[in-house]
Structure formats: C-alpha cells, structure tokens
A and B are shown apart, each in its own frame.
Chain A
Amino acid sequence: MTTHTPGSVRGLALAEQARYLRDLAEIRALLSRYASLVDARDPRAIASGAFTADGSDDHGLYGSVFRGRDAIEAMFRRSNETTEASAHFVADPVIEIDGDVAYGRTYVTGWTWTRDSAVAGNVRPADWVFIGIYVDRFERTADGWLISQRTVEPLGPGATAAGRRPEVYAGSAGIIDEKGAAARDGH
C-alpha cells in the first residue's frame, strides 16, 4: 500500500476514491470527537471512545508514555485533579491514509481552567492556553477509526499560547519545560 493524500488518490478505482473520502471524513470527526470527550472530562469515555485497546498517548505533560486504555484513563483522571475545565480547538489537519492505517498532524489549542483559580468564580479567563501539534497514528477498527498512537509536539517557543503553564507540569521531562525546549533547539 502507499500513503494517499487527496491529490494522490485520483488514480484509484472510483469505489476506492469514495472510500478515501469517507475515511477522511471519519478521521476528521474522530479528531473533533476527541476534543468533545476530553472537554467532558470523563476519563473512561476518552480512553474507550478515542483510542484503540492498546493505543498510547504521550502528551508530554507527565514525562511518560501511557499505553492501553487503563493507563490513558488514569492519565486523564490525574489531569482532572488539577484541571477544572478545558476547551480543545483543533485546526489544520494534514491526514494521509494507507489502507487501514492513517497518519495525521493536527494543530490544537487547549484552553485550561485550573482548580487553583476556582476562587475567582466560574466566569474567569483561562489560566493557560496550550498550543501544539497532535502527531497521530490512526487505525481502522470494528468500532471505526481510532487513535493507536498520539504524541504531541509544541508550537511556539514552548507550547504556551497564553497565560501561564500550571506549576503541576513543572519539572516534567515533557515538551513544555525549558529543558525540553532547549534540547529541541540543539543547545
């Protein structure tokens, strides 16, 4: 199989082109569904609704890779301890499909309201806007397309679009600390 983009699929049979369009629509919907699930702050629903059974997630926030639905659920449960609410906006998906596997790079801003600032009331601005790129591997499963591997790359100098990175992420070996940013720059 070869990896296909909208421009390269034209040489295939018509039914294959139609299948390509349907796959693309489903993968785009998966990216949106992930945002809805995460922002509903239901760890079990995120793990089972967006990831394959052995899917992995390396958000770069906690310094380790979370593999399998139980581990991913635990990661989001841990996130709920410090994050009261979030809003994820995805944009600019670049998706390549290779049969039952696909690859995507998608921009995201994650607006985060921490529990620490709850004293300011519900109508308060976000504490932190994370900005980065989801680098995904997708698989076609009996339950439709799901994420089998997700890593996150920073946008901007250090993945902060606005506000301040919550202290809970300080010192992680992830993508959003000074050390990680310097390593990327080859210092």
Chain B
Amino acid sequence: MEALIRPEFGLTFWTITCFVLLVFVLSKTAWKPLMQAVEERERSIKHDLHSAETARAAAEKLKGELAAQLAALKAEIQRRLEEARLTAEKETDLLIEEARRSAGVIVESARKEIEAQKTEAARELRNKVADLAVLAAERILLKQLDHRANTDLAARYLAELEKERPDLKLGTN
C-alpha cells in the first residue's frame, strides 16, 4: 500500500511544468479575451442602466410638467366657469330688474289710462244724466204748466227772494 503515498518527484516536476505553462498560455489565450468580453458587457450594462436612469428621470420631469399644466388648465377652466356664472347671474338680475321696471311702467300707465277713462266716463255720465234730467224736467214742466198756480208760485217765490235779497226788490226803490 505504500505505493499509494510514495511520491514520484518526476511527476511533481511534470505537474509544475504543465501547470505553470498552462497559467501563462491560458492567461493570454483564454482568460484575457473572456475578461475583456465580460468587462465590455459590464460596461455596456452600466451604460444602458445609466441611460435608462436618465430617460426615466426625463420622463418623470415631463410627467411633472404635464401634471402642473393640467392643474393650471383645470384652475383656469374653473375660474372661467365661475366668471361666466357670475356674469350670467348679473345679467339675469339686470333683466329681471328691467322687466320689473317696465312692468311697473306698464301697470302705472294702465292705471292712469283707467283713471282717465273712468273720469271721462263719469263726466259723460253726469252730462248725460244732467241732460236727461233737464229734458225730463222740461217735459214735466211743460205738462204741469198752469198759469195761475204758476203766477202765484212766482209771486211767492219773488216775495221770498225779495225778502232774502232786498237789493233785488222791484219797484220799491
């Protein structure tokens, strides 16, 4: 069994030769291109990451700007609406006031008209009544005209009148 652990120093020499050679050759032919490729990729990944970060930041900024614009627009719309509402209200008030005033004017003129008409009608009525009364009285008087009685009556009236108004007395002065 000692053959298992009896070192063959010639093989050690081979091993060292082989291995050292491998280290130098592989460092040039294998590991260098591999590491170059890896570093290239790492660099490009870093670059991509960086540009993605930049793009994201730009997008974020744009989004913020748009949001601000939107908010400003909303505020503007709100303001305009409020303004329009106020104007409309004012206009409505004005119109109502105007209507009320013109209605008042119309009512007033109508009342005046009615008053005038009423006065006119009353006057006409009175004239007509007076006419009618006079005519009727005339008829009655014509019918009841009795000379004697009337003469008496006239004498009595005259006496009464003379008594009341002595200045009008006939024949005594």
* Chain B associates with chain A: no
The residues of A with any CB-CB pair to B shorter than 8 Å are: none
The residues of B with any CB-CB pair to A shorter than 8 Å are: none
